[in-house]
Structure 1
Amino acid sequence: MILSVEGVKFTYGSKKILENVSFNVNRGEVVSILGINGAGKSTLLKSINKILKPKKGTILIDNFDINKLDGLKIAKKIGYVPQRADGNYMTVFDTVLLGRKPHIKWEISDKDIELTYDVLKLMGLEEYALRCTNELSGGELQKVIIARAIVQEPQVLLLDEPTNNLDLKNQLEAMKIARNVSKSKNITSIIVMHDLNLALRFSDKFIMLKDGKIFAEGGKEIINPENIEATYGVKAYVDAYNGIPIVVPI
């Protein structure tokens, strides 16, 4: 087990966002966090990364309480991809290289450069290496931010709606990369998703949030018509094509 979330409660003022959220995740698992807008998905990710501090509860990364870790130590353990990122005048190469910052002591090493090139190649970004990020499309920039998190070599990778702004081809590529990186490097990926079909295709485990609480947790079996209607308020049936489960709203 790499991540343990126990009894997490988070509020904005008097408004409850998360209420007694508890779950465990193993190394190398790809976990999708599902639910409607406002269910608390992004707040949960930010709590795991100590961007937000829960009112109650404990979050352990590799048996370390994140509340007792400083920002540098957290950055060595957790990579985070936010929903939105803005470009600037830095090149794609330098932006991805920034992901190595937690590991750089005095100067950039050959390993840092090599890892950056490897991840650019992995993400299909080699031809963009010397372009400024403010010249990129939203989808291209999203892939750069994912690359920056991967080059961190984290134990846990948090991705908040990583397929936003991506076309169908790049959605599939981004999710394939996230899964392949998780399995090949034994990194746990926790992904906030809206697309149930992408989640079903690339995830091992699912956590469905409703009203700030875990409504259902488990494998593909929990993505069923009853849970979908209860969580999203939408009737649907779940079928399969070539062994791949598909959710079809009615």
Structure 2
Amino acid sequence: MALEQDIGALIASTNQLTAVVDNKAQALDKQMAALDARVAKKEQEVDKFLQEALPETRYVQDIFIGGSKDYLYPVWWTFPGNSEGVSELTISREYGWNGGAGERPLNPASVHQAGLILELEGNSSPWSGNANFLQIKRFNQTYNSTVSHVNFMLECKAEKVDPNRDHYGGGSDGSIGPWCRTASGVYLRGGGLKYRIIKNWKGDVRYFDGSSMERKMIYEYNDPNASSTARWFIEPIPFTERKAPIANTIPYVNHPYTPPATA
């Protein structure tokens, strides 16, 4: 009888202990669930902070323009449209780039070659129905001039496709001016100079690398139902024809686009 009582007491004690363990396990599960929820919330807060704290993505393209220091070479692009918001493009170079021994195309006796910051904002292309524009936001250069012909409508040469029709967009055959309706651009000095292009949108700019002086066609407008035609092409131009970017104490200098009369 005493043995049975001892066994019963042991079973009761074991059941009590099991209940205590179960209660503590349930409490621990609740604590872990609460901790997991707090960790998940903190992870979301950290992700949001990183998204807001990280700077805008920058796409960097280094280009090298050879050829002659006595010529300016075309660089051109098309800004994204309204869906991308305002697009930014900076052309820069450190003053000492290409200043090593055996280089020095502009100052043979010094590492000081040319420094440049040309910061632009723009949107779309001249033929687009979007909010198309280009603005010079900042411009500064040191030691030597390297940039020219900044324009929302790429300054290029033009010629008639059909000699029996009018010249679309202005100018005359072989003249250089802001004729191009599909691209924006600048001209950069050659001779063996490195430039860095920094943008907030994907896609490389196109440029003459100085290895050739042959012209490249940008676009041909030759609608058979239109009264005028044009072919726009680019080629290096003499440095003596340089047109400096507008220097102004006002941070933003606008280059608006006025659509031509319907052809």
Q: Normalising TM by the smaller chain, what interval?
A: under 0.3
TM-score (norm 1): 0.22
Q: Which has the higher helix share?
A: 1
Which has the greater radius of gyration?
2
